[in-house]
Amino acid sequence: MLGALLQPMFAAIPNDGAFSGGSAEAQWRPMLVEQYGRAMARAGGVGISQAVLAEMQRLQAQGTQAAHAATPVPDVTP
């Protein structure tokens, strides 16, 4: 996933400058971006995992509450 987040950043770098690798660089760039993403993941990522987890748990709790509110309670009185 981190590689996918890095892809637009590397796509903005031109391939035709004086210090670029030209078409060869363009060919190998996706693998470089993937390795950067893996290295970042091994180093702990970008620090958003706790926020994402908390939001997922909040949404799950809302969904559970909504499901219980929508479920009719059967009338069991004699």
Would you say residue 66 lies in a domain? yes
Would you say residue 23 lies in a domain? yes
Average pLDDT on 14-32 reads 78
Predicted pLDDT at 75: 67
Backbone angles phi, psi at 45, to 5 degrees: 80, -150
For the chain, the domain total comes to 1
Residue 78 reports pLDDT greater than 60: no
Would you say residue 61 lies in a domain? yes
Residue 50 reports pLDDT greater than 60: yes
Average pLDDT on 40-59 reads 90
Average pLDDT on 19-40 reads 84
d(C-alpha 78, C-alpha 72), whole Å: 18
Place of tokens 């958003």: 48
Would you say residue 24 lies in a domain? yes
Full domain range(s) for residue 56: 2-70
Would you say residue 78 lies in a domain? no
